[in-house]
Amino acid sequence: MSNVDREKVCPFLLRIFTRKGAHNQLSAYTVNEVPQDELAIYTWKNATLEEIAQLIEQVVPDARDPDARISFRLVYLDQHRGKYFARDIGRVVSAKPTKEQKKTLEECKFVIGDYLDVAVFIGPPPSVMRDQRSRGRDFGRFSSGRPPRRSFDRGYSNNNNNNSRFGGRPRRDY
């Protein structure tokens, strides 16, 4: 990471597009059109995702929620193909620090002219709910969250129970 003297180096314009609950569709980015909800900030290449998240929190009310998770995606134009591509670069979680929040734009391979697509998620991540199900919490009819396994071998397997009609040992109850 290069040190940028913020007193001597001029900042650049960073265009950020925010959305609650999901990232913007990649098809929303064209040469002539971009998504709505644009936030324009001036920053430097050594700005961290945490710094950018703090600026977003000042403008986007949902990002101030204590359970907010801010997900960053880099959107860039491939000039050879003439279309936009995207790549996830990190998350900042209000409730707990992440190792990604210290990543700089430069470490994310940001090039001046790229966009940041930011999704603001509220509430616990889906994996937390999956973890609770696996610990035995009852979420409906089946305690594991899915129906019990059924055997579809129609008795052709070579299991050793006496009730199988095909394969295995024959029934001797007649």
Phi, psi for 109 (deg, rounded to 5): 65, 35
| Residue 89 belongs to some domain of the structure | yes
How many domains does one find in the chain? 1
- Domain residue limits at 67: 12-122
Q: For the domain that residue 32 is a member of, what is the CATH number?
A: 3.10.20.550
| Residue 153 belongs to some domain of the structure | no
| Residue 44 belongs to some domain of the structure | yes
Q: What is the pLDDT of residues 33-62, one digit of tens each?
A: 999 999 999 999 999 999 999 999 999 999
| Residue 168 belongs to some domain of the structure | no
Q: What is the mean pLDDT of the chain?
A: 81
Whether residue 114 contacts residue 125, with contact meaning beta carbons closer than 8 Å, is answered with no
SS3 content of the chain, % helix, strand, coil (to 5): 20, 25, 55
| Residue 134 belongs to some domain of the structure | no
pTM of the model: 0.69
d(CA 66, CA 87): 26
Summarize the confidence of residues 155-168 as an average pLDDT: 54
| Residue 114 belongs to some domain of the structure | yes
| Residue 162 belongs to some domain of the structure | no
The CA–CA distances, whole Å, from 54 to 7, 17, 34 equal: 21, 15, 23
| Residue 141 belongs to some domain of the structure | no
